[in-house]
Structure formats: C-alpha cells, structure tokens
Amino acid sequence: MKTIRFHKKVYPRAAVKSAVDTYRAVAQVALRVEGDYAVVEVEAGSPEDTAEVAGELQNWALGQAIVQRGEG
C-alpha cells in the first residue's frame, strides 16, 4: 500500500476527489482527511503497480488543481 498526503493549500479537495474517483477503476483507493491534509491510500496488487498507479493519481490531482485554479 502507498499513502499520499495532499495539503489543502496546494490541492483543492475537488482535485483530490477527482483523482480518487478516476483511479478507483484500476486500484483500491481510500480517501480520508487528517487536519490540513487529504490522505489517499492506494493498493494495486504488486508493489510496482501500486507505485505506478499512485504516481499517476498524484499527477491527475496536480493537473486538476491547476485547472481548478484557472492556471492551465
């Protein structure tokens, strides 16, 4: 399992939720809030697959954050 922490000042909640919803189709993904962070846990079978999906999920969240802020 891979845990990713997204700080709310950088990643709007909707950006993280979009990434989680998108990648639930290919992995087990859980979202919770801890203080100023959205915490996402990813499990996709093998450690290699988990790392790849987690990286792609991070990229998706970043892209969505940029779009939602009107910067992209």
Residue 71 has pLDDT above 80, yes or no: no
Distances (CA, A) of 36 to 6, 9, 11: 8, 8, 10
Note the pLDDT tens digit of each residue in 5-38: 999 999 999 999 999 999 999 999 999 999 999 9
Distance CA 72, CA 57 (A): 18
Ordered domains of the chain (ranges, CATH): 2-68 (3.30.70)
